[in-house]
Amino acid sequence: EVQLLESGGGLVQPGGSLRLSCAASGFRFSSFAMSWVRQAPGKGLEWLSVISGSGDITDADSVKGRFTISRDNSKNTLYLQLNSLRAEDTALYYCAKALKTSRTDAFDIWGQGTMVTVSS
């Protein structure tokens, strides 16, 4: 079964950091681009960052310089390092698999999400 499982969310103070992980199973992880998408409480979806199977990265302007996507293909795991967190970063963070190999493909598999709450 194709599956994505996020972890690493939690409560953090403004200015703090977190590292999110997304463990993949059931597919050839290294062949597919992977993205992070977030959803603030009661709001819509916001794409954050994508990394190709070979490591090419594109970020949304809203997170450039603060969030860093990475992957370890040997561990079938995707990461998102979140630094300088702000209250407006409070959201459910999803990892999502690209349908095909392109970084811009639609997202065919999503994890269940991990909640990040930024508050003092």
Partner 1 sequence: EVVLTQSPATLSLSPGERATLSCRASQSVSNYLAWYQQKPGQAPRLLIYDASNRATGIPGRFSGSGSGTDFTLTISSLEPEDFAVYYCQQRNINNWPLTFGGGTKVEMK
Q: Please report, as ranges, the residues that interact with partner 1 according to CB under 8 A.
A: 35, 44-47, 50, 58-61, 94, 99, 102-108, 110-113
Strands (E) located in 40-118? 45-51, 57-59, 67-72, 77-82, 91-98, 107-110, 114-118
Report residue 43: phi and psi, to 5°: -115, -175
Which of residues 68 and 105 has its CB atom nearest to partner 1 in the complex? 105
CB atoms within 10 A of CB 102: 12
> Closest distance between partner 1 and the C-beta of residue 33, in Å?
11
Minimum CB separation of residue 105 from partner 1 in Å reads: 7
- Comparing CB distances to partner 1, the nearer of 64 and 86 is 64
Is 59 or 89 the residue whose CB approaches partner 1 more closely? 59
